[in-house]
Structure 1
């Protein structure tokens, strides 16, 4: 059967994508950010997963206030980079994995998760920036990608506990898929940041680092963090961290932390990144 071999989490800051696209990665401001992803690039080259399940949130590119799915899985053959107002990023089209995506949709829905099935969708920086951080700027992405969008923009978002349990359901789904493929699951967004209001620019490094520790040591405790605590401790956009809990829920309890990267600031946001391998 297929299996999830590892989980990866990373921030998906749009300015990081712009720095990549404009060739600014070696500038003094950006160099420390990108240096922390060199290990991830090496790890993916060595690991060579067959597919990635990428958890992200749409930023009003595919969805709007007219339609807000809590969880939406992309089941199409491909997904084009979205135009977010200044043209699509110059990155490859994302090739999907319809067979596995439909299997996950069926399995999670029968597992009592309300999953919206998407057969046509453009993907924005929430998905493409993490791929660029892991693979650089290739002419084609090296593996298939299943997009799984989570509403963390319009209240109410799902709870951390709901996301954690969805990750467990995704692991069950993958392990019931008849293939020998090796899958990596990615959680993106965060870490602490706030983009508006009196606390714009808010960063809480202590909370961020404790969250990274918890992914390895005590994910059950992280799953209990409330919406209000995220807002208080991680800023209004810190709620994106619930998507990391989907990634963590899809892994075994026993795992190995392979790499960790944390840097402040990057466009008034804390950059976080971790690689966890199942053992």
Structure 2
């Protein structure tokens, strides 16, 4: 008899294009801390031997636009192109490739979400990656070994899904994984944030106070503290800070606290940069 699936690891990381595109601009100690944390997560994922990775991020008007901007989307493709253009590949210093997909798990996750009263958009093919997945995966899976189920959360333009709704989606993802047996070892990887401003005069600023408070909430694992944000509180850390919603999805999937392996305020990368692992 087949065992049901389980989430064997949950991780979260920032995806600033500077992490791969211009790493040398960061202070040497900050760069070393972040890259060491990525290397640790890569090692842990290798040891976990996942059958699939559910990768949760935002996207930056690469696939969606203001005429069609879902709160959540789940992709069910066999593979995904990234970076989306040759110019973006040069900008990110990431080799353009086809990332493998786990279509069967994606379809199961989408159906399970519908049956759990979520209404995500369905992307059956053609989803392309920008820095959202390409940057962290360059550190965590440079050979594109693990089949992916991309989950996209709107973190780029209001109205956004509430923090609690994002956390609850994570809980649903965990339930969905445990309700099937064809992908028995699953890792959840969330990417985005922390504080940053996109396309605004404040670009290059970091709200370190917000970031440190957020990672403290993440370490606690307390769902009330994690989801107790108003839009204005997140706005204070920049329009890009709304990407913490992907971390909240990861927290809901983990249902426990995280160890923050690195946090560095790196204006040179335009972002408060962190890497974390759930205490599973």
Q: Give the TM-score of the pair, scaled to structure 2.
A: 0.88
Residue 216 of structure 1 and its aligned partner are, at CA, apart by 2.6
Alignment deviations for residues 163-183 of structure 1 (CA, whole Å, 9 cap, x no partner): 001111111111101236111
Task: Say if 2:223 is the partner of 1:222.
Answer: no
1:151-170 alignment, distance < 5 Å: 151-170=154-173
C-alpha contact 1:61 1:122 (8 A) present in aligned 2: yes
Equivalent residue for 1:241, pick from 240, 244, 248: 244
Q: Higher helix share goes to which structure? A: 2
Aligned: 1:130 with 2:131? no
Matched, 1:270 2:272: yes
How many residue pairs were aligned? 269
Correspondence for 1:99: 104
Q: Distance in 1 between matches of 2:79 and 2:73?
A: 15
Q: Give 5+ residue unaligned stretches, structure 1.
A: none
Aligned to 1:51: 52
RMSD of equivalent CA atoms: 2.2
- Aligned match for 2:21, one of 7, 18, 23: 18
Match of 1:148 in 2: 151
Distance in 2, Cα, partners of 1:150 & 1:180:
23
Cα displacement (A) at 1:32: 4.4
Cα distance change, pair 87–205 in 1 and its aligned pair in 2 (3 A)? closer
Partner of 1:2 in structure 2? 5
Q: Deviations over 1:93-141 (max 9, x none)?
A: 1111111111111111111111111012111110111111213x32xx1
Change (3 A) 1:240 1:31: same
The 1:91/1:27 distance shift into structure 2, 3 A limit, reads farther
Residues 191 and 271 of structure 1 are in contact (CA less than 8 Å); yes or no, is this contact kept in structure 2? yes
Which residue does 2:77 correspond to in 1?
76
Instruction: Say whether residues 1:118 and 2:123 are aligned partners.
Output: yes
Rounded to whole Å, the distance in 1 between the matches of 2:17 and 2:42 is: 19
Instruction: Give 1:3 shift.
Output: 0.8
Judged with a 3 Å threshold, the aligned counterparts in structure 2 of structure 1 residues 191 and 84 are, in CA distance, closer, same or farther, namely farther
CA contact (8 A) 2:59 2:154 kept: yes
